[in-house]
Structure 1
Amino acid sequence: MATIISDVPHLTPKEHQQLGKDARKALPREEIGVWAPTASRVNPTQMLLDQAVTRVPELIPIRHARMLVSPFTFFRGAAGIMAADLGNRVNTGLIAQLAGDAHLSNFGGFATAERELIFDLNDFDETLPGPFEWDLKRLAASLAVAGREIGLSEQQRRRVTTGSVAAYRNAMRDFAQMRHTEVWNQRLDADDVLRRLASDGGAKRVTNFSRVMAKARSRDNLRAQAKLATQVDGRAQLISAPPLMVRIDELASAEVLLETHDRVAEMLVQYRRSLAVERGRLVGLYRYVDAARKVVGVGSVGTRCWVVLLEGRDEHDPLLLQVKQAEASVLEGHLPPSEYREHGRRVVEGQRLMQAAGDPLLGWFRTAGFDGVERDFYVRQLWDWKISPDIASMDAPGLGIYAQMCGWTLARAHARSGDRGAIAGYLGKSEVVDQALADFAEVYADQNEEDYQQVLLAAENGLIPIALEF
C-alpha cells in the first residue's frame, strides 16, 4: 500500500471532479455571478481614509490623485473595496492560493533565471489562500472596466470577458488531466505568445509584440542605472525627482544620516538570509551604494518602497533592487489569516507558489524603523525584462487575445495549489460560468463607476486630499 506523504486528500480523478460538482450545491454555477450591494456595504471613501493610516502621509494625496484619473485607475486601487464585497457573498469553498488582486494590469512579462521571457502574474501584495473564483471575478470585472475605458460596446466587452473565463475553464480542465509535474512545468513564454498572436491577431500584432520583446530585453540593470542614477564626484548615486523619487540623504536628518545608510546595509544582510544559499552568495558579491524612496503603481502608493543601488566589480556592474513594504492582505478581513507571521514572507511564498518561474532574487525581511514600529518588506529586482500591458492602445480583438492569455495564466497559477480536478468539475464543460461572470463583470463595473464618482465628489469637497503632481 502506498504511503501518503502530504495532507492533501489522495482521491481518484473522478472523486476530485465530484468534489467540484458537489460544490455547486453551495453555490450553483448560475448564481456565481449574482451580486448586489448590501445595506452594510463598506463606504469607499472611508476605506481609503482607513488605509491611509499606516502609509506615508505625504504620499497619500498622490495615491488618491492616481486613483481618480479614471474609473479604471480607481478599480486598480480598490482591491480592498472589492475584497469586502466578495467577502459578503457565498463562495464555492474550493480553495487555491489567490493573487488577491488579479486585475488585467497585474499580468505581464519578465525574465526567468534562465533568461527566457515569460508571461505571468506579477503582483502578489494581497496573496492569500481563498476561493478560486475571487481572483477570477477580479479579472473579469477589470476586463469590463477596461473595456469601457477604451470605448468597447457591451457586446464587445462580454465577448472579451467570456473569452477570458472560457480560457480559464478550458485550461483548468486540461490541467486536471495532467500529471502533477506536468502542471508545475507549464508556462506561457514569448514564443507561445507569438504563436497565439500569429493565429488570432495577424502580422501587425506579431510585429508590434516583437518590438516590445526587444525593448523588454534592454530593460536590465545597466539600463535602470542609466535612467535612475548619475555620477557625482566619481561616485554613483540615485537621482532625486521629488515627490516621486527622493534620495535617502534628503529624507533623513543630518544627525541620523550615517545610521540610516548603515540600517539599509543591515537590511540587505537580513534579506540575503531569506534567499537560497547560492543566490545569497551572489548578492553578497555586491556592495551597497545608495537608496531612494520611489512612488510606484496606484494602489501601492503610500506604502514604503525603496530603490536600492548595489555595485559589483565596478560601476559597470550594477544591481538595482526594489524593497517594498508588505502589509496585511486586503483579503485577511474575510478569510483565515496567513500562516506566515511576516507579511513579506507571505508575499514571497505566495509568489513562489503561483508563478511558473519567479525572480531568483525574490526575498523578504522584517525591520523596525526609527519610530520603533516593526514593518515587513519584500525584495525583488527592479527591472528584469519587465513588460507591462498598454491597455489604452488595445482594440477589441487585442484585448480579447490578452484576456485569454490572462485567463489561461490564472488557471495555471491556481492549478499549482488548488484542487484542479474539483475546480474543473465545478466549472464543467458548458458556458454557464462564462456567461454568469460576464454578467457579474458588467454589474460590478457599474458599481465601480458609482464608487469612483463618490470618491471624486469627496475629493472635490476636500474630504480626501489629492495631489496636483502625481
Structure 2
Amino acid sequence: MKANQEQRVRKDIRKALSYKKQVSAKESKRRGKALRELVPHACHEAWQVQERRNDAIDLLSKQDEGRAQELVPIRKERMAASPFAFFRGAAVIMANDLARTPSTGIRVQACGDAHVANFGLFHSPERKLIFDITDFDETEIAPWEWDVKRLGASLEICGRERGFDSKVRRAIVKTAAEAYREAMREFARMGTLDVWYAHMDADELYERMAHKASKSERKEAEELLDKARSKNSARAIKKLTEVVDGELRIVNEPPLIVPLREIVRQYSGMDVPDPDMHERERITARLLSHYRKNLPDDRRRLIGQYRGVDIARKVVGVGSVGLQAWIVVMEGAAEKDHLVLQIKEARDSVLAPFVGKNAGDTPGQRVVKGQKAMQIASDVLLGWTELPGKDGTPRSYYVRQLWDGKGSADLDEIGEDALEALAGACGWTLAHAHARTGDRFAIAGYLGKGDGFDHALVRFAQSYADQNERDYQAFLESLR
C-alpha cells in the first residue's frame, strides 16, 4: 500500500513540474509537504557504505581514459594535496554515492559539482560584480538534494582542513542548509520574474563576510573584490603573453601552458618552423568557426571584430586536468584591444548514468544551457563548439572568456566567521539556481519552517567527510 502511495505522490510531483499542465503553487506546495511522510527529513542524514559500492579508485581511473596522458600525473598530484583537493576532483565518486541516497524525486537543473570552491565572483554584462555558481561541467537535470549534500560535505571537509573544531563545523554546515531552506521559502512567495531577477552582488557578499569579521579579515575581503574587478583580458594578456618580433605570443611554460607551435614540434619530432601570423590566424579562425555559428547574431557580430593571433593548451582546475583546454588570444582593431577566450572540453556529466541525458545535446551544449539556466547573468561570449579529435571523432567543447571579473575566497586561509558567512551565501545562491529551474513551491513545502532538514544535512556532511577521508587514503595508497 505504501509503495502505491509513494508512486502516486511521485507521479503528482512530475505533473507539478510539467509545463504542459499548470499546477497551482498552493497545490504544488501541498504535494511537497506530503513527501515528508514518504521521505522524512531524517532519512537524509544517513550515509554508510552501500553493498556493492563501486570502487572509488576504479571510478577515477576510468576518467583518465581519453585524457592527455602526459597530464594525468598532474591531476593525481593536485588531488593528492589534501582531502579537500581530492574531494574537488572526485565528483564522479560522490555522484555514484548520491544516487544511492534517499530522494524526493523533485528535479532541478543541478550544478552536479556544487562544492564551496565552485562559487565565486564574476562580471555581469552590465559590468557589475556578482556572486554565483561558477562551474557547470557536471550540470544535469537531477534531484535538488544532491547539490545541497555536496555543498554541505565540502564545507565540513574544508572546515576540517582549516582545523576548525566540530562545533564550528556544524554551525557552518547548518548555516548553509538554513540559508538554502529560508531562501527557497522566500522564492516560493515571489513571482516568477522576481525570482529570475533576484541576485547577490559583491557588496552584499562583502556585508555578509564582514559582519562579524576582524579588521584584517575585512581587509582581505576588500582585496578579494579589488582583485576580481581587475581580473580581465587585459590582465590575462599581461600575465600570459609576450611580444616576439613585434607580435603578441603566448608564453611557453610547460607543462601548464604550451603553445600550439610547441605541441606540433613535440608530436612531429622535428624542429618545425613557427607558423607566421597569418597562418596562426587561419588555424585559430578554423577552430572558432563552429563556435561563431552557434552564437546569437549580436554576439557573432561582436566576436567577428576580433582576429585570433595565438593559441595554447592551458591546464586548469583539479578534476579537469588532462581534458583538452585551450586559450586563444585575440586582437581587435584598436590598440591594446585584446580578448582571451578559453575553449574547454566537455564530457557527459557524472550524473548522467543515474538521471539520463538529453540525446539531442552535445556535452558542450549541455554545459552552456545549464549555465544560462542557473546563473543570473552568464558570460556574453558563452557558447559551444566541436573540434575533431586525433581519430577524427568530434570532441565537444564550450567557450567563454578566460577571465572576466573572476574571484573566489581563499579557502586555504579563510577564518571561521568568514567561512560561515560564505556558507550562507552559497546556500542562498544554490536555492536561487534551483528555484529558477525547478518547482520551488514543492521544495519549499518539503523543507517547511522547521530545521529538521538542516540537522540532517549536518550529520550527513560529517559522515560523508569521513568517507572522503577513507577514499583519500585509498587514493594515496594507489599512488604508492
TM category (shorter chain) comes to over 0.9
Match of 1:150 among 120, 141, 162: 162
Q: Distance in 1 between matches of 2:86 and 2:451?
A: 30
Q: Which residue of 2 aligns with 1:302?
A: 322
- Structure 1: distance between partners of 2:386 and 2:27: 43
1:129 is the counterpart of 2:149: no
1:270 to 286, 290, 310: 290
Match of residue 238 from structure 1: 250
SS at match of 2:70: helix
Greater mean alpha carbon deviation, residues 311-320 or residues 415-424: 311-320
Residue 360 in structure 1 maps to residue 380 in structure 2: yes
User: Which residue pairs with 1:288 in the alignment?
Assistant: 308
Corresponding position of 1:430: 450
Q: Which residue of 2 aligns with 1:464?
A: none
Instruction: Write the distance in 2 (CA, Å) between the matches of 1:44 and 1:379.
Output: 31
Determine the structure 2 residue equivalent to 1:187: 199
Instruction: Measure the CA separation in 2 of the matches of 1:339 and 1:350.
Output: 15
Question: How far is 1:265 from its partner?
Answer: 1.6
The share of aligned pairs that are identical, in percent, is 46
Measure how far apart 1:13 and its partner are.
2.2
| Deviation by residue 1:259-299 (Cα, 9 ceiling, x = unmatched) | 88744322212111222211111111000101110110101
1:52 aligned onto 2:72: no
Shift of 1:211: 2.0
Change in Cα spacing, 1:123 to 1:159, as seen in structure 2 (3 Å) is same
Contact 1:101 / 1:124 at 8 angstroms: preserved in 2? Answer: yes
- Please tell me the residue identity of whatever aligns with 2:328: V
Alignment-mate amino acid for residue 66 of structure 1: R
Residue 80 (structure 2) pairs with residue 68 (structure 1)? yes
Displacement of 1:339 in angstroms is 4.9
Give 1:94-109 correspondences, 5 Å limit.
Answer: 94-109=106-121
**Paired residue for 2:421, among 401, 405, 408?**
401
What TM-score, normalized by structure 1, do the two folds share?
0.94
Match of 1:337 among 350, 357, 373: 357
1:349-401 residue CA offsets vs partner (Å, 9 max, x unmatched): 00000001111110001121242121100001001110022111112111100
Q: Distance in 1 between matches of 2:159 and 2:343?
A: 33
Cα distance in 2, alignment partners of residues 143 and 31 from structure 1: 20
AA aligned to 2:350 is: V
CA deviation string 1:161-197 (max 9, x = no partner): 0010000000000000000000000110012123323
Structure 2 match to 1:10: 22
Which residue of the partner structure matches residue 383 of structure 1?
403
Q: How does 1:203-218 map to 2 (within 5 A)?
A: 204-218=216-230
**Aligned partner of residue 333 in structure 1, secondary structure:** helix
The residue type equivalent to 1:57 in the other structure is Q
Please give the alpha-carbon distance, in whole angstroms, between the structure 1 residues aligned to 2:247 and 2:210: 48
| Cα pair distance change 1:256/1:77, threshold 3 Å | farther
Q: Are the aligned partners of 1:236 and 1:315 in contact in 2 as well (CA < 8 Å)?
A: no
Partner of 2:88: helix, strand, or coil?
helix
Contact kept in structure 1, 2:111 and 2:139, CA below 8 Å: yes
Q: Secondary structure at the match of 1:296?
A: coil
Paired position in structure 2 for 1:84: 96
Partner of 1:467: none
Number of residue pairs the alignment of both structures matches: 456
Native 8 Å contact 1:340 1:346 kept in 2? no
Between stretches 69-78 and 41-50, larger displacement belongs to: 41-50
Secondary structure at the counterpart of residue 330 of structure 1:
coil
1:329 Cα offset (Å) = 0.3
Aligned equivalent of 1:351: 371
Give the direction of change, closer, same or farther, for the CA distance of 1:49–1:439 in structure 2 (3 Å limit): same
* Distance change >3 Å, CA 15–CA 339, structure 1 → 2: farther
State the TM-score, normalized to the length of structure 2. Answer: 0.92
Alignment check: 8 A CA contact 2:210 2:418 kept: no
48-57 or 166-175, larger mean C-alpha shift? 48-57
The alpha-carbon deviation at position 67 of structure 1 amounts to 0.2
| CA root-mean-square deviation | 1.8
Using the alignment, how far apart are the partners of 1:164 and 1:200 within structure 2?
A: 17
Q: Which amino acid aligns with 1:105?
A: A
Query: What aligned pairs does 1:301-320 form with structure 2 within 5 A after superposition?
Result: 301-314=321-334, 316-320=336-340
Is 2:455 aligned against 1:450? no
**2:383/2:398 contact within 8 Å kept:** yes
Q: Does the residue aligned with 2:354 lie in a helix, a strand or coil?
A: coil
How far apart are residue 316 of structure 1 and its match?
0.8
CA 1:315 to 1:309, structure 2 compared with 1: closer, same or farther past 3 Å? farther
Q: CA deviation at 1:78?
A: 0.6
**Deviation per residue, 1:414-468 (Å, 9 max, x gap):** 00011001001111111100000100000000000000000101101xxxxxxxx
Following superposition, the deviation at residue 257 of structure 1 comes to: 7.8
Equivalent residue letter for 1:399: L
In structure 2, the residue matched to 1:42 is 54
Contact 2:224/2:408 (<8 A) preserved: no
* Closer/same/farther in 2, CA of residues 202 and 100 from structure 1, 3 Å limit: same
CA distance in 1, matches of 2:207, 2:88: 30
Provide structure 1 residue ranges, at least 5 long, that are not aligned to the other structure.
1-5, 461-470
Alpha-carbon shift at residue 209 of structure 1 (Å):
1.9
Which piece of structure 1 moves more, 268-277 or 132-141? 268-277
Match of 1:117 among 129, 136, 149: 129
